Amino acid sequence: MTWIIAIIMGGIIGWLASIVMRTDAQQGIFLNIVVGCIGSILGRFLFGGLLGGGHLRGDAFDWRTLLTAFLGAIILLAAVNLFRRGRLR
């Protein structure tokens, strides 16, 4: 059951990050899930010591986990945009 919650929360976080980065029209639900889950790992790696928080499988509804996952997803989308387009947005 925790994997299902992690996939759903990853999809929501990826969708919100794609709206902020204006890439929502380019990606579907599958990429939103991938961006949210990988962004969660990236955010926990980068900001986990600073903000705390866990991972989407165990602490999916903790505000620190959601914040680190959201920030990680935004950084991931910014890096992809920088690589593909040569600019952050």
pLDDT at 74: 93
Query: What span, in angstroms and rounded, lies between the C-alpha atoms of 26 and 3?
Result: 26
Question: Could you report the per-residue pLDDT of 35-84, keeping only the tens digit for each?
Answer: 888 988 888 888 877 776 666 666 667 788 888 889 999 999 998 888 88
pLDDT at 28: 82
Identify the residue with better confidence: 4 or 86: 4
- Residue 81 backbone phi and psi in degrees, to 5: -65, -40
Sign of the dihedral through C-alpha 23, 28, 31, 36: positive
Question: Could you report the per-residue pLDDT of 3-20, keeping only the tens digit for each?
Answer: 888 888 889 999 999 999
pLDDT at 75: 92
Query: What span, in angstroms and rounded, lies between the C-alpha atoms of 9 and 73?
Result: 12
